[in-house]
C-alpha cells in the first residue's frame, strides 16, 4: 500500500482562499454589464432601472402619467401613477449582470453602467489664452492700487496658468485714461475650473490701434413762451494713441517710463447754444454761446483740461441787411491767451523717448525723466549681465584655459625629476628660512658671592648646550614624522 501524505489544515485554508480569489478575479475580468427589466417582461432588458420603469408607462393604456421607483425591502418596485397621483399598476424590477466592463463605471443612482465623459479641458493642455490686466490707476500723475496679474485664469471652465508678458504696457484701454494695462499669455493645464476672484475669466486684450473719432449732434428747435427759438449742438473730436510704456516694480511700487510712441489722448468737446429772437420792427438777433473744452493726456501724466467760452451776438435788420455783431472770449483758447501751451506740452512729451532697451549690443538712449532713465539703465545692465553670465562660447573657454595655464607655468609647479642615481632631491621644497638662528644662544655663566665671602659660579652655558642638542634631535624626529604623514596623504590622493 503506498504512503499517504498528510495535508495540514492551514494548507487547506490557503488553497480555498486562493481558489476564491482566482474565481473573483476571473469574474471581474469577464464582467457582464448590469441590465434591468420589468418582472415577467420577457427579454425586454434596459441599461438601468430608470429606463425599465419608464417602459412601464406603455402598459398603462394611457392612464399612467408618471413612473416612480421605490425600494420595498430588498426589491425595487416601479409604480405607474395617473394625474391624481393614484397608482394604476406596478411592477417589480429584476436585474442581471456581474459588474461594468471598462471603461464603464457603476452608477449607484440607477444601477446601470455609465461611460465616463472625458474632461473637455484635457485638450487645452499647452494651449494659450490672453488676458489684459489693469496694473494700476493713475491719480494726479501717480500710480495707485497696484495689482499683479492673477496666477491663473479660468476660460470656458478650463484652467490656464504661468502668466508671461506678451506686450509692453499701455494706456487708454477703451478710452479710459485712468489706468495702465499689460497683456499676458497663459498656458492651459488641461484641468477644469470655476471662475472666481482668484481665477477670473480672462479680459479680452485690446488691439492697441490709434483711434480717431468725430461726432456732431444738434437738438430740435424749441420755441418758448416769448417767441424765442432755442437749439444746441455738441461736437466732439478725439484722438487716442495707447502707446508703449516700460514698466517695472521698485520696492513694490510700479514705475513706468514712456516708450515710442508715447501714450497720448486729446479730446475736444464743443457745445454751442443758440437763441434766436424776433423784434417787433422785424429785425432779429441771434445770440450764441460756444463752450470748448480741450482735454490732454500724455505719457503717464494726469490729464489736464482747458475751457474756452465765447459769447457772440449778431443782428439782422428788417430789410435783411447786417445790423452788426459783437463777441467776447474767456479762457485759454482765446487769441490773446496761452493757446499754444498744450501743443508745447505735447512736443515736450514727444521728446521723452527710449531706444536701445531691447538688445544688449545696442546702447540705451533715454531722454526725459532722469529717475525713469536710471531705472531703465539699471534693469538693462542687470539683464545683460545675467545673459552674459549664462552664455558660454568658445572665446570664454579658451580664455579660461589660457589663464589656468599661465597661472601654473612657473618652475615651482614643474614636476620633480630624479637624479642619475634615481634619487629625488626635495630640499628645494622645504623653506629653511626662519626668524631665529639655528645655533644655541650664548648664555653667560652666573657668578655670585656666598655668605662665607667665597665666589661661586653656575655653568649655565653648558646646560644650554646640552639642552640644544636634545631639542635638535627632537626636531629631526618631528620633520621625519611630518614627511611620513605628507607621503601618506599624497599616496592616498594618487590612489
Looking at the predicted structure, is the pLDDT value of residue 5 above 50? no
Of residues 295, 321, 299, 319, the one with CA closest to residue 307: 295
Q: CA 403, CA 397: separation in Å to the nearest integer? A: 10
Winning range, highest mean pLDDT, from 36-45, 345-354, 471-480: 36-45
Q: CA 138, CA 169: separation in Å to the nearest integer? A: 13
What integer best gives the mean pLDDT of the chain? 80
Of the candidate ranges 5-9, 185-189, 379-383, 402-406, the one whose mean pLDDT is the lowest: 5-9
Residue 421 pLDDT:
64
Tell me the pLDDT band of 117, cut-offs 50, 70 and 90.
Answer: confident
Residue 476 pLDDT:
76
Tell me the pLDDT band of 431, cut-offs 50, 70 and 90.
Answer: low
Tell me the pLDDT band of 491, cut-offs 50, 70 and 90.
Answer: low
Tell me the pLDDT band of 481, cut-offs 50, 70 and 90.
Answer: confident
Looking at the predicted structure, is the pLDDT value of residue 310 above 50? yes
Looking at the predicted structure, is the pLDDT value of residue 289 above 80? yes
Cα-based distances in Å from 177 to 92, 138, 140, 251, 258 = 72, 8, 12, 25, 15
Residue 21 pLDDT:
44
Q: What percent of the chain has pLDDT over 70?
A: 71
Characterize the bridge pairing of strands 446-449 and 365-366: unpaired
pLDDT in tens, 121-156: 999 999 999 999 999 998 877 888 999 999 999 999
Of the candidate ranges 172-186, 203-217, 408-422, 428-442, the one whose mean pLDDT is the lowest: 428-442
Residue 142 pLDDT:
85
- Give the mean pLDDT of 30-41: 90
Q: Which residue has the cell 484701454?
A: 173
Tell me the pLDDT band of 434, cut-offs 50, 70 and 90.
Answer: low
Residue 177 pLDDT:
84
- Give the mean pLDDT of 367-396: 67
- Give the mean pLDDT of 40-66: 93
Residue 116 pLDDT:
86
Q: Where are the domains of the chain?
A: 29-114, 121-208, 213-333+346-355, 443-494
Between 298 and 384, the more confident residue is 298
The three-state secondary structure class of 317 is: coil
Q: CA 38, CA 21: separation in Å to the nearest integer? A: 34
Between 189 and 178, the more confident residue is 189
Of residues 111, 100, 2, 104, the one with CA closest to residue 50: 111
Contact 88, 111 (CB under 8 A): no
Residue 7 pLDDT:
42
Of the candidate ranges 98-107, 144-153, 224-233, 409-418, the one whose mean pLDDT is the lowest: 409-418
Quote the DSSP letter at residue 351. T
pLDDT in tens, 313-361: 999 898 888 888 899 999 888 876 444 444 444 444 444 555 655 567 6
pLDDT in tens, 153-183: 999 999 999 999 888 899 988 778 888 999 9
Q: CA 275, CA 221: separation in Å to the nearest integer? A: 10
Residue 420 pLDDT:
63
Residue 9 pLDDT:
46
Residue 417 pLDDT:
65
DSSP string, 230-283: EEEEEEEEEEEE---EEEEEETTEEEEEE-SSPPEEEEEEEEEEEEEEE-TTS-
Tell me the pLDDT band of 416, cut-offs 50, 70 and 90.
Answer: low
Q: CA 35, CA 186: separation in Å to the nearest integer? A: 46
Winning range, highest mean pLDDT, from 59-63, 364-368, 471-475: 59-63
Q: What percent of the chain has pLDDT over 90?
A: 42
Q: CA 309, CA 392: separation in Å to the nearest integer? A: 68
Residue 294: is it exposed, middle or buried by C-beta count within 10 angstroms (0-12/13-18/19+)? buried
* Measured distance between the N- and C-terminal CA atoms of the chain, rounded to whole angstroms: 72
Of the candidate ranges 116-120, 157-161, 275-279, 442-446, the one whose mean pLDDT is the lowest: 442-446
Contact 138, 302 (CB under 8 A): yes
- Give the mean pLDDT of 208-217: 90
Residue 372 pLDDT:
63
Of the candidate ranges 23-32, 98-107, 122-131, 244-253, the one whose mean pLDDT is the lowest: 23-32
Residue 409 pLDDT:
67
Q: CA 277, CA 354: separation in Å to the nearest integer? A: 58
Which grid coordinates are listed for 197?
Answer: 476672484
Amino acid at each position: 500500500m503506498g504512503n499517504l501524505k498528510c495535508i495540514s489544515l492551514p494548507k487547506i485554508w490557503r488553497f480555498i482562499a486562493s481558489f476564491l480569489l482566482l474565481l473573483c478575479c476571473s469574474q471581474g475580468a469577464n464582467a457582464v454589464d448590469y441590465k434591468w427589466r420589468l418582472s415577467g417582461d420577457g427579454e425586454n432588458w434596459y441599461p438601468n432601472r430608470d429606463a425599465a420603469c419608464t417602459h412601464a408607462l406603455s402598459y398603462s393604456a394611457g392612464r399612467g402619467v408618471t413612473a416612480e421607483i421605490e425600494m420595498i425591502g430588498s426589491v425595487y418596485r416601479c409604480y405607474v401613477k395617473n394625474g391624481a397621483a393614484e397608482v394604476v399598476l406596478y411592477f417589480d424590477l429584476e436585474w442581471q449582470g456581474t459588474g461594468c466592463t471598462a471603461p464603464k463605471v457603476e452608477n449607484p443612482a440607477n444601477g446601470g453602467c455609465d461611460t465616463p465623459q472625458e474632461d473637455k479641458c484635457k485638450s487645452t493642455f499647452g494651449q494659450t489664452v490672453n488676458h489684459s490686466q489693469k496694473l494700476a490707476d493713475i491719480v494726479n500723475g501717480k500710480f495707485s492700487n497696484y495689482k499683479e496679474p492673477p496666477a491663473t485664469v479660468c476660460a470656458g471652465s478650463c484652467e490656464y496658468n504661468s502668466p508671461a508678458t506678451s506686450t509692453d504696457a499701455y494706456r487708454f484701454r477703451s478710452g479710459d485714461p485712468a489706468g495702465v494695462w499689460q497683456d499676458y499669455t497663459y498656458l492651459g493645464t488641461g484641468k477644469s475650473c470655476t471662475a472666481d476672484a482668484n481665477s477670473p475669466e480672462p479680459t479680452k486684450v485690446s488691439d492697441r490701434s490709434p483711434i480717431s473719432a468725430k461726432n456732431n449732434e444738434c437738438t430740435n428747435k424749441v420755441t418758448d413762451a416769448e417767441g424765442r427759438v432755442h437749439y444746441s449742438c455738441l461736437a466732439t473730436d478725439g484722438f487716442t494713441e495707447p502707446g508703449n510704456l516700460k514698466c517695472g516694480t521698485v520696492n513694490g511700487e510700479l514705475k513706468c517710463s514712456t516708450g515710442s510712441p508715447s501714450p497720448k489722448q486729446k479730446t475736444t468737446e464743443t457745445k454751442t447754444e443758440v437763441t434766436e429772437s424776433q423784434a417787433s420792427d422785424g429785425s432779429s438777433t441771434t445770440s450764441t454761446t460756444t463752450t470748448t473744452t480741450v482735454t490732454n493726456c500724455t505719457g503717464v501724466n494726469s490729464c489736464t483740461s482747458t475751457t474756452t467760452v465765447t459769447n457772440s451776438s449778431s443782428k439782422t435788420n428788417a430789410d435783411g441787411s447786417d445790423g452788426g455783431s459783437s463777441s467776447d472770449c474767456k479762457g485759454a483758447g482765446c487769441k490773446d491767451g496761452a493757446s499754444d501751451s498744450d501743443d508745447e506740452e505735447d512736443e515736450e512729451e514727444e521728446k521723452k523717448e527710449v531706444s536701445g532697451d531691447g538688445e544688449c549690443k545696442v546702447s540705451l538712449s533715454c531722454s526725459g525723466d532722469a529717475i525713469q532713465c536710471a531705472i531703465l539703465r539699471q534693469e538693462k545692465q542687470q539683464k545683460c549681465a545675467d545673459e552674459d553670465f549664462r552664455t558660454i562660447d568658445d572665446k570664454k573657454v579658451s580664455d579660461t584655459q589660457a589663464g589656468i595655464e599661465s597661472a601654473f607655468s612657473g618652475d615651482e609647479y614643474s614636476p620633480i625629476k630624479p637624479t642619475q642615481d634615481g634619487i629625488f632631491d626635495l630640499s628645494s621644497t622645504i623653506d629653511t628660512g626662519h626668524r631665529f638662528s639655528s645655533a644655541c644662544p650664548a648664555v653667560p655663566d652666573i657668578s655670585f658671592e656666598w655668605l662665607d665671602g667665597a665666589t661661586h659660579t653656575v655653568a649655565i652655558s653648558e646646560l644650554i648646550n646640552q639642552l640644544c642638542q636634545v631639542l635638535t634631535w627632537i626636531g629631526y624626529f618631528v620633520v621625519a614624522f611630518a614627511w611620513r604623514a605628507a607621503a601618506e596623504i599624497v599616496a592616498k590622493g594618487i590612489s
